[in-house]
Amino acid sequence: KYFCNEYVCDTMCNNQFALLNRLYNCTVYISKISGRFDVNHRRYKCLQCGKMLCTSEPVVIIQSGFWPGSIKDMTYVFDKELFLFWDILQKQLPGVSEGAFLKSLELFSKRKGRVATVNATAFRVSFKEWKYCQFELDKLRCIDWMECPSCSQHQHSVHVDGNMKLYRFKSAGIRKRECYYGETFVVSNEKVDSHIHKVYQGSKQRVLWGGRWQSGAAATTGEEVEHINSHFSRLGSSTKHMLPEGREELLTEHSFHWNRRKIERLPGSLAKRYATV
């Protein structure tokens, strides 16, 4: 068995381990794209430094390409490829049901003659933690998908619009924790109310006319923001049943996806426009 020696062993070993025994009284439920698998944890020994390792240790789980359902309990483990697949599917099909996705995994397992149940709570919590980990890794790489490379330094203009389809039912529940991403995308209601108060009540900040009435102002087709609203509106079927923190995290992650796609397409878009001109 091979692990990443940089994190598993105390020294730079040759990365080879020998299987000592299976822990038959220590079961782990692994969820992959091909469904659920029930296996036993195992204990290994490094052939060079002699260090004893067990697959129930979080560092071994993560270095082996999986993500624990809980940092304290390695009973439920999820394949990172499963998380990546669900993340891509979620962004390509806004509003897709997580429950329906997990049900598909369960049916696949059942068709293959395996135990079908996938722990939905463990999947939901660990997926959010994995997504936030990707966000922190991007920060370490100095990648900020909320910063546009073409206008972040000298912004030319801004378009203000609202989307009334992303409401949330009060019956969905009250906030239990803070959003993982803070106010990266969605700011607090208090700040929004304060800003609105300044705009409509303050004598100096009051908006008297739109930008199109100013001399020399240009206009757009108006479709750019509608494309964004069209994408986010499809999330309404899911966000209205979410807790506040879950809703904010989902909207923030979709904003990352939208901006990333836009930034990655900028070179081709500019080249096409230059060719047209």
Q: Is residue 132 part of a domain?
A: no
**Residues 18-28: pLDDT tens digits?**
666 677 678 88
Residue 48 has pLDDT above 80, yes or no: no
Tell whether 271 and 150 lie within a shared domain: yes
CA atoms within 13 A on the CB side of 35: 16
Name the range with the highest mean pLDDT among 34-48, 111-125, 188-202, 219-233: 111-125
> What's residue 98's pLDDT?
93
Are 14 and 115 contained in the same domain?
A: yes
pLDDT at 189: 86
Question: pLDDT confidence of 269, banded at 50, 70, 90?
Answer: confident
Q: Residue 162 to residues 132, 195, 210, 232: CA-CA distances in angstroms?
A: 27, 15, 15, 11
| 271 has a pLDDT exceeding 50 | yes
Domain range for residue 11? 1-126
- Report the share of the chain in percent with pLDDT over 90: 46
56 pLDDT higher than 70: yes
In-domain check, residue 131: no
CA 199/CA 201 separation, integer angstroms: 6
Q: Tell me, yes or no, whether 25 lies in a domain.
A: yes
Taking alpha carbons only, the member of 122, 3, 34 closest to residue 74 is 122
Q: Is residue 138 part of a domain?
A: no
State whether 268 and 190 are in the same domain.
yes
Residues 91 and 159 in one domain: no
Q: pLDDT digits over 135-164, tens only? A: 999 999 999 999 888 777 777 667 777 888
**What is the amino acid identity at position 47?**
L
Residue 120 lies in a domain: yes
Domain assignment present for residue 196? The answer is yes
Residues 64, 54 contacting (CB under 8 angstroms)? no
pLDDT at 2: 40
State how far the Cα of 193 lies from the Cα of 45, in Å rounded to an integer: 60
Residue 134: inside a domain, yes or no?
no
In the structure encoding, which two tokens stand for residue 89, read together? 């599917």
How high is the mean pLDDT of the chain? 84
Q: Which residues, 6+ apart, have CB-to-CB distance to 270 below 8 Å?
A: none
User: For the segment 157-202, what is each residue's pLDDT rounded down to a tens digit?
Assistant: 677 778 888 888 989 999 999 999 999 999 988 998 888 787 777 5
Same domain? 155 vs 98:
no
Beta bridge partners of 54: 43
Query: Is residue 174 in a domain?
Result: yes
Domain boundary among 100, 126, 152: 126
Q: Which of 23-27, 83-87, 128-132, 242-246 has the least mean pLDDT?
A: 23-27
Q: Which helix (H) or strand (E) holds 245?
A: helix 244-276
pTM here? 0.83
Mean pLDDT across the stretch 265-277? 82
Count: domains in the chain? 2
Enumerate the H helices of 112-203 as residue ranges. 120-140, 189-201
If DSSP codes are grouped into helix, strand and coil, which group holds residue 238?
helix
* Residue 202 confidence (pLDDT): 59
- Does residue 271 share a domain with residue 148? yes
Domain boundary among 126, 157, 176: 126
Alpha-carbon distance of 184 to 194, in angstroms, equals 18
Residue 151 shares a structural domain with residue 270: yes
102 and 156 together in one domain: no
